Amino acid sequence: MEPLALLPEALLLGGALAALLAGSFLPRERQWVARLVAAAALLASSVASAVALAGPARTVFEGTYAVDTATGAARLVVALATLLVLGLGVDELAGDRQESEAYCLLLLSALGAVVVAGADDLLVLAVGFLLASIPLYALVGLARTPAAAEAALKTYLLGALFGITMLLGVTVLYGATGTTSYALLGERLPGAPDAAVALGAVAVVGGLMFKAGGVPGHFWVPDAAQGAGVAAAAFATTVPKVGALVAVLRLVDVLAPVAGVRLLVGLLAAAGMVLGNLAALGQTDPRRLLGWSTVAQVGYLLVPVAVVGRSDLAVPSLLLYLAAYAVTNLAAFAVVAALPARRDLAAYRGLAGARPGLAAALLVALLGLLGTPPTAVFAGKLTTATAAWDGGEPWLAVVVVVTTLLSLGYHLRWFVPAYRAGEPPERADRGAFVPRPRAAAAAAVAAVASVALGVAAGLAWAVADGPLVR
């Protein structure tokens, strides 16, 4: 028992409870106190996570929870990404009658994502899955619009289906091996019935695809991105997948003796890259476009997972890409949050002339999601493709390159109108675009972070380069 080993998680939980209590006793005009409490908890968790990264890799609580580089990186990315979500959502949430509840739900779902990432036992994984999912359903429906209600219902139904699928897999694996511990699973899998182990592995990995927003658990993502409030959409398409993809990485590392597990993950990665990019090509709503884009990004993120154990590049490339994706995707959503009334790509026409700073943030975000240097996602895509090649799966590297070229189409459809020259004065005037100030500031911060992480990718790689423990 090492309670201090879970200090970052404890700070998130304490912050969620404090924000809820503060909101319960404060009048609506002073709900900003709950926002400060939530931000302080996220900052404290970030600092504690960064300090813990320098510590030794080990398991705690009788081997049920891993405290290693992967968990440390997930803690840090989740806390900082949630802090950015608070920043881009201030204009939207301030004064709302459920403002403090929103902060509480954000922190609880972030805590669930961290627990999923650090789980070294199937039962802890199941608890983390529920903790990350239930607040997410409420967040998606918080906007109280018909579109938000539909998105929340779809998210809930799919979450229930994939949650049951994952629990079925946990049960089958326990029945086949007699343990839920990852360390013991690795030892007992070779002697367990092949069919039962394969069924359990497919069910657990498939269930986690809901949290990651990847194929085949992706159907809720475009609807949530389009129908939920901008802050909830930004959070739902970013933070849960950080925990889920680290969890899939650990599972595939453990389940490597099961025939076909790596191929399954490789096929899910390819399906996500192809389907997400093809579907995004036809979108005109920027939020729905980002929703399909995130499905494609999960495909790219699964590439190094398919070669974990075969390539030393797999773990650091995934962690670097997760950090890069988080800041870049949030930069795009922050621009959307700054201009919430513009629900069509054509409505961004003239943005560069009227608001060059905001247009620059949009350009960085879209070029980043595309994978253009010097943004951080470029480093992530490059290293994941290299890991696939190094791990003996060159076809995945080819899919990464081909689908990246395919994605150029929908990214161009967004930022070309924004930078179109010769706009009439009424569209290039600053009064044509009046952004929400704090969301615009969050967009600038996220865009700068995306470029800075890309420039400092070598340093980030050194921090992320550590083994998985069991």
What is the per-residue pLDDT across 243-300, written as a single tens digit (0 to 9) for each? 999 999 999 999 887 778 899 999 999 999 999 999 999 999 999 999 999 999 999 9
- State the average pLDDT over residues 333-359: 93
- pLDDT above 80 (res 225): yes
Q: Work out the pLDDT band at 1, boundaries 50, 70, 90.
A: low
Determine, yes or no, domain membership for 447.
yes
| Percent with pLDDT over 70 in the chain | 100
Confirm whether 448 is domain-assigned: yes
d(CA 453, CA 376): 5
Decide if pLDDT at 166 tops 70. yes
Pair 305, 386: CB distance under 8 Å: no
Question: Tokens representing 260?
Answer: 């076909």
Task: Evaluate whether residue 324 is within a structural domain.
Answer: yes
3-state secondary structure of 1: coil
pLDDT band at residue 133 under the 50/70/90 scheme: very high
In a domain, 199, yes or no: no
Write out the two tokens for 70: 């992967």
b/e code 346-361 from CB counts within 10 Å (16+ = b): ebbbbbbbbbeebbbb
Which pTM was predicted?
A: 0.95
- Tell me the three-class secondary structure of 187-225, residue by residue: HHHHHCCHHHHHHHHHHHHHHHHHHHCCCCCCCHHHHHH
Q: Which residues pair with 58 in a beta bridge?
A: 67
Give the model's confidence band at 431: pLDDT under 50 very low, under 70 low, under 90 confident, else very high: confident
Query: Which residues contact residue 127 at a Cβ distance below 8 angstroms, ignoring those fewer than 6 apart?
Result: 115, 119
228, part of any domain: no
Closest CA to 454 of 351, 357, 349, 380: 380
Within 10 angstroms of residue 228's Cβ, the number of other Cβ atoms is 28
Domain count across the chain: 1
Q: pLDDT value at position 432?
A: 79
Answer yes or no: is 418 within a domain.
yes
Q: Let me know: does 410 contact 326? Beta carbons within 8 Å.
A: no
Q: Give dist(CA 12, CA 132) in Å, integer.
A: 13
For residue 127, tell me if it sits in a domain.
no
- Domain range for 422 is 260-469
Tell me, yes or no, whether 380 lies in a domain.
yes
